[in-house]
Amino acid sequence: FFGGIGGASRLGILVKGSNYLEALGSTETVVFDKTGTLTDGTFSVTELVCAPGVSKAELADIAAAAETFSTHPIAQSVRAYRGAAVAAERGRDVREVSGQGVEAVVDGREVLVGNGKLMAAHHIAFTAVEAPGTVLYVAADGTYLGAIAIADTVKPGAVRAIADLRAAGVKKTVMLTGDIRRVADHVAGELCVDEVHSELLPADKVAQVERLLSNADGKLAFVGDGINDAPVLSRADIGIAMGAMGSDAAIEAADVVLMDDDPLKISKAIRISRKCLRIVYENIVFALGIKGLCLVLGAMGIANMWAAIFADVGVMVIAVLNAIRALRVDNL
């Protein structure tokens, strides 16, 4: 197991214990968060749809000011689109509403920036916008100002990662996301995942994982990167976090960390686990077989002291040399 953990770390896969490495070998269900895991998480504004009397500059300026203190990739893309730095003192009383968006006071105006659920919760009459990607609706003092369409792109290796998981023996792949159904279905179709659930709050993701755990025969692994994924990472049999762009909470809660955020490493981790387990079984069968043979031969008066030494020290040395094979992971 030390050899397997060492070999995995050489590929940028940090496994926090031999029990997690062993569990990876019997993984049959892999559940993914979407943003930052299967997609780049680098959003960009693709379209602005303004209400009558509202300019694009005004819409982007108000949205960026409300998102000043948010670290979410979507918020960062809105600020990047505006271009210039937004004065921090313009926004106050900022409150992030989980799974909905942001509420803030900007220049003395009550501003809402988020999805349709946020608008509905505050009884804002808004016009639904059909656009590829995520749509943020913006309102100020109860008046709808417009919408901002933001798109994310699938990671280059994500499609192959799903295919590699199937080749590695994973029976089911599932994608969970807080995005609207249209966006989630588009990404899921591109990746060919088996099951997708959209418009989920963090608590809903936990509920979905609980449901999958109750129906799964083998182990279930969850792959995520955000602070909201920490509860799900802890609940899954194996929690896998993206280490490069992932939050500290997700990395702390995970059992396995991918240091370069490459989803292709998940199937490699599973193959490393299964190779490690094969070597373990080989060593167990070899050691018990030789010791049992020496016991029988000793009882018959055939085996001498040298045979007993080989059955003890010799078997241990051979087992250690065989275990060193677990360090060789480059060809997996």
Collapse the DSSP code of 176 into the 3-class scheme (helix H, G, I; strand E, B; otherwise coil) and give the result: strand
Residues β-bridged to residue 109:
106
By CB atoms closer than 10 A (0-12, 13-18, 19+), residue 57 is: exposed
Collapse the DSSP code of 149 into the 3-class scheme (helix H, G, I; strand E, B; otherwise coil) and give the result: strand
Cβ distance 27 to 166 under 8 Å? no
Cβ distance 221 to 27 under 8 Å? yes
Q: State how far the alpha carbon of 49 is from the alpha carbons of 72, 199, 326, in Å.
A: 22, 22, 56
23/37 Cα distance (integer angstroms):
21
Give just the sign of the alpha carbon dihedral 149, 155, 161, 163: positive
Query: Looking at this protein, which amino acid is placed at residue 168?
Result: A
Q: 33, 179, 225, 237: which one is catalytic?
A: 33
Residue labelled with tokens 């990404």: 187
Give just the sign of the alpha carbon dihedral 283, 286, 289, 294: negative
Taking the CB of residue 296, how many other CB atoms lie within 10 A of it?
A: 11
Active-site residue, 260 included: no
Catalytic residues: 33
